[in-house]
């Protein structure tokens, strides 16, 4: 299409006033005062054969974050779940129990409020809150900016608590080493097949609120079976952040992975 | 509604490529989306018109090449159609599979003017 008069298409022509132009085309011509020019042109169309991943920007930034974490030996976890499954409570209990032993840093992701960051800050663990506003997930450039402010030290653990949402965060790599999906037994057993992308992209699955099991009609085997159908690599931890039950196994995993991470990065 | 983020990702790439080619607008954009890429086409269409306003894509024709999911069974090598991540092999019923197609999420072609 001619970029000036819009001819050559059946679309809308947009012209600025007081700007004269003239050209001849096959099919029509128009001449007017001011100037004239004859040309044949191929309408200047360029086809770009792109084949580019739509999430490439996020993936590049995530790779950049991951490189930084590896260089500084910062073991980074991305905690994902639906709202209310107990991500912050698990984090609080973990920090309370292990903060004397290990160096923790936390990035909290929520649409609004500093509430979660305040809970972590009360434990004297360095924390940054990312408020996504209308956004439903964290993206890698938000982590990049948050890390610059948080300045995590070498040989530490960075916990990123994503926005409570079992759909969108699954698509956005933040540069983490492991993704942890949390589900509580007050939710349905079929969450893994209702939201398969999240369970498919996770490395471990923490099942929270196990202290409520005697009071609920929840089939644990069914949950695990559904989750394994989606991702047979998933490793399960059954915990209660409230009573502390089962948390030791999760801590052992964390320490072991931290050690593996150190070996890998040296 | 991560489809808005997807749309913004598309716009960012289209703006960069159009500028690189010394052009001002995109006439046609062809996108490849797999059935298991985690994108709802209805939601993408819903946000598209608002998202592309005042960008190089404002008047672009959006063409979506939708790819069906296909997987190869790790137990018996059967190739089969998958709609969901937990679909199993129709022959041996195993859930272990390699996804061959259906995770695509990329811009194939831009026609810039």
pLDDT of residue A14: 26
| Residue from B27, B43, B75, B86 whose CB has the most chain A CBs within 10 Å, to mutate | B86
Residues of B in contact with A62 (CB under 8 A): none
Q: Give ipTM to 2 decimals.
A: 0.84
State the count of interchain CB pairs (< 8 A) between A and B. Answer: 98
Token pair belonging to A144: 């990049």
Of B21, B96, B108, the CB nearest to A232: B96
The domain spans of chain A are 1-46, 56-265
Question: Is residue B5 within 8 angstroms of chain A, CB to CB?
Answer: yes
The domain spans of chain B are 3-68+102-112
Has domain A56-265 been given CATH number 3.40.50.300? Answer: yes
Has domain B3-68+102-112 been given CATH number 3.30.2320.50? Answer: yes
| HEC profile of chain A | CCCCCCCCCCCCCCCCCCCCCCEEECCEEECECCECCCCCCCCCCEEEEEEEECCHHHHHHHHHHHHHHHHCCEEEEEEEECCCCCHHHHHHHHHHHHCCCCCEEEEEEECCCCHHHHHHHCCCCCEEEEECCCCCCCCHHHHHHHHHHHCCCCCEEEEEECCCCCCHHHHCCCCCCEEEEEEECCCCCCHHHHCHHHHHHCCEEEEECHHHHHHCCCCHHHHHHHHHHHCCCCEEEECCCCCCCCHHHHHHHHHHHHHHHHHHHC
Please write the tens of the pLDDT for every residue from A34-89.
444 444 445 688 999 999 999 999 999 999 999 999 999 999 999 999 999 999 99
pLDDT of residue A134: 79
Question: Is residue B40 within 8 angstroms of chain A, CB to CB?
Answer: no
What is the reported pTM?
Answer: 0.82
Of B12, B59, B108, the CB nearest to A57: B12
pLDDT of residue A253: 97
């Amino acid at each position: 299409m001619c970029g000036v008069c819009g001819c050559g298409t059946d679309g809308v022509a947009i012209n600025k006033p007081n700007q004269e132009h003239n050209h001849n085309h096959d099919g029509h011509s128009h001449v007017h005062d001011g100037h004239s020019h004859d040309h044949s042109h191929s309408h200047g169309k360029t086809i770009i054969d792109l084949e580019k991943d739509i999430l490439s920007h996020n993936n590049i930034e995530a790779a950049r974050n991951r490189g930084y974490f590896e260089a500084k030996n910062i073991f980074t976890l991305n905690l994902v779940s639906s709202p209310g499954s107990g991500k912050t409570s698990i984090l609080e209990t973990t920090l309370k129990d292990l903060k004397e032993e290990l160096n923790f840093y936390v990035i909290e992701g929520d649409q609004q409020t500093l509430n979660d960051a305040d809970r972590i800050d009360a434990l004297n663990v360095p924390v940054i809150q990312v408020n996504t506003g209308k956004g439903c997930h964290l993206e890698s450039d938000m982590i990049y900016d948050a890390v610059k402010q948080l300045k995590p030290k070498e040989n530490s653990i960075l916990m990123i608590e994503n926005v409570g949402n079992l759909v969108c965060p699954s698509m956005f790599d933040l540069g983490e080493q492991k993704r942890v999906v949390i589900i509580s037994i007050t939710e349905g057993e079929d969450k893994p097949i209702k939201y398969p992308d999240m369970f498919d992209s996770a490395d471990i699955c923490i099942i929270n609120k196990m202290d409520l099991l005697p009071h609920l009609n929840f089939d644990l085997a069914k949950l695990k079976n559904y989750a394994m159908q989606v991702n047979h690599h998933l490793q399960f931890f059954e915990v209660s952040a409230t009573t502390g039950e089962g948390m030791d196994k999760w801590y052992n995993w964390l320490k072991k992975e931290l050690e593996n991470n150190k070996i890998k990065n040296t | 509604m991560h489809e808005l983020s997807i749309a913004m990702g598309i716009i960012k790439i289209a703006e960069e490529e159009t500028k690189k080619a010394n052009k001002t607008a995109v006439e046609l954009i062809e996108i490849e989306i797999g059935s298991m890429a985690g994108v709802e086409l209805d939601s993408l269409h819903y946000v598209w018109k608002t998202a592309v306003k005042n960008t190089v894509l404002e008047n672009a024709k959006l063409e979506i090449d939708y790819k069906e999911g296909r997987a190869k069974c790790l137990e018996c090598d059967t190739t089969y159609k998958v709609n969901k991540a937990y679909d199993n092999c129709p022959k041996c019923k195993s859930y272990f599979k390699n996804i061959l197609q259906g995770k695509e999420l990329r811009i194939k072609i831009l026609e810039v003017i």
